[in-house]
Amino acid sequence: MFIELDLQSETPIYAQLVDQIVEGIASGALQPGDPLPSVRSLGEDLGINLHTVNKSYNLLKQEGFLQVHRKKGVIVQPDGMPGVTDAFEEKLRRQLRSLAAEAAVRGMTEAAFTQMSTSLYRDTITNRGGEQR
Amino acid sequence: MFIELDLQSETPIYAQLVDQIVEGIASGALQPGDPLPSVRSLGEDLGINLHTVNKSYNLLKQEGFLQVHRKKGVIVQPDGMPGVTDAFEEKLRRQLRSLAAEAAVRGMTEAAFTQMSTSLYRDTITNRGGEQR
DNA sequence: TATGTGTTATATATGTAATATAACAAATAA
DNA sequence: TTATTTGTTATATTACATATATAACACATA
C-alpha cells in the first residue's frame, strides 16, 4: 500500500487515512471496483488498531467513496463517485476562506495563492484516465 | 464586534475566533495598531469563557498577528505582519492538497477549483488599503 | 469445519475543549 | 491612596474525541 502515517502529527490517524485514500482515488492509484485491505490486515500493516481503520472506512462509506460488499469486502465505489454536494461546497468555502485570509495577511499575492491551488489540483490527478483535464 | 460564533459547529470556538480575527485583519476591518476587547469583555459579549478568548489571543500572539502591551492592552500587530513562513506554507500545501483531491474525485474541474480559490481570496481583502491587488 | 469478513459491544487510557473560581502583578483612573 | 481593569497563572471539573484492547456475532468462503 501507498499509505504513510505520521503518528506524531496533530492530524488524527483516521483522518490521515481518509485523506490518503481519497488522494489515491484522485490520482488513479485506486480505481473504481478496486478492493481495499481488510480492516485487520491494514491495521496490522500500518501498526494501528482495526477500529481506527474501520472508522476511516465507515466515513468514506458514508460519503459514498467506498462500498462494503458482504462478498467482495471493501471496494472503491464502482457506480460513480458522489458529486459536489452542498455539504462539500460549504466545507470547501469555509476552509478556502480561512486559508486565503491568512495567506493575504502574510503578504501572499492573489496570483501566488491561485497558482498554488491550481498546481496542487494538477498534482493530485496525475496518473488518471481521461476525465476533466 | 463582527464576531459570530456557531456553538454547534465541530470547529472549536477558539479556532473560530482565531479565523475571524485573521479575516478581520485581511479585510481591513482590523487595522494595525487597533485595540481588541479585553479577554473578559469579549468573553462576556460572546457568551464564552475568558480562557477560551485568552487561548485564541495567545495563539495569534505566538503567530505574530497580535501584540500584548501592558499599557495598550491587546492590539493588532503594528510592526508588520509575519510573512509566508515554512510552517504556514506546509499547512497551506497539506490542506489545499486534501481539498483539491476531494474536489477532483467529486468531479469539480480544475477551472472551477481555481476560480473558487481566487474569488475567495478576493472576497477576504475587499475593504483594504492599497496592498497586493 | 475452519477461517476471514465487517460489525457491534464494552472497557480503558489519554488528550483536547470549555467552563468555573480564584489569585497575582502591573497599570490606570478615581 | 484606593479601587478597578489589564493579561496571566493555577487548579479543578465536565464533556468529548482519539486510540487501543478484547471479545463476540452473523455471514460468506475455501
Domains of chain A: 13-76 (1.10.10.10), 86-124 (no CATH)
Measured CA distances, A117 to A19, A55, B10, B100, B112 (Å): 17, 29, 25, 8, 11
| Reported confidence tier of residue B39, pLDDT bands at 50, 70, 90 | very high
pLDDT above 90 as % of chain A: 88
Q: Do the chains contact at B117 and A113, CB–CB below 8 Å?
A: yes
Instruction: Taking residues B1-22, report their average pLDDT.
Output: 95
Amino acid present at A17: L
Residues of A in contact with B105 (CB under 8 A): 22, 25-26, 65, 81
> Which cell numbers hold the place of A76?
472503491
What's residue A46's pLDDT?
A: 97
For residue A41, give the nucleotide whose C1' atom is nearest its CA.
C4
The confidence band for A133, taking pLDDT boundaries of 50, 70 and 90, is very low
B115 backbone dihedrals φ, ψ, rounded to 5°:
-65, -35
Separation between Cα atoms, residue B38 and residue A105, nearest integer Å: 23
pLDDT of residue B126: 83
Instruction: State the average pLDDT over residues A24-40.
Output: 96
Question: CA B81, CA A60: separation in Å to the nearest integer?
Answer: 39
Q: How far is the CA of B51 from the C1' of C26 (A)?
A: 20
Q: Work out the burial of residue B132: count CB atoms within 10 Å of its CB; fewer than 13 is exposed, 13-18 middle, 19 or more buried.
A: middle
**CA separation for the pair A120, B100 (Å, rounded):** 7
pLDDT-based confidence at B10, cuts 50/70/90?
very high
pLDDT at A31 over 80: yes
CA distances for A43 relative to A11, A53, A70, angstroms: 18, 6, 20
pLDDT of residue A129: 55
Q: Give strand D nucleotides closer than 7 A to any protein Cβ.
A: 5-11, 17-22, 27-29
B97/A110 Cβ within 8 A: no
pLDDT of residue A3: 95
Q: Which of B27, B85, B100 is closest, CB to CB, to A120?
A: B100
Model confidence at B1, in pLDDT bands (50, 70, 90)?
low
**Is residue B133's pLDDT more than 60?**
no
Is A121 in Cβ contact with B100 (below 8 Å)?
A: yes
Q: Which pLDDT score, from 0 to 100, does residue A132 have?
A: 43
Percent of chain B with pLDDT over 70: 95
The residues, any chain, with a CB within 8 Å of residue B30's CB and separated by 6 or more, are B21, B24, B36, B76
Distance (Å) from CA B38 to C1' D13? 25
Interface contact A97-B22, CB threshold 8 A: no
pLDDT in tens, B20-36: 999 999 999 999 999 99
| Strand D contact with A12 (CB < 7 A) | yes
pLDDT of res. B50? 97
**What tens digit of pLDDT does each residue of B70-100 get?**
778 899 999 999 999 999 999 999 999 999 9
Q: What is the pLDDT of residue B127?
A: 61
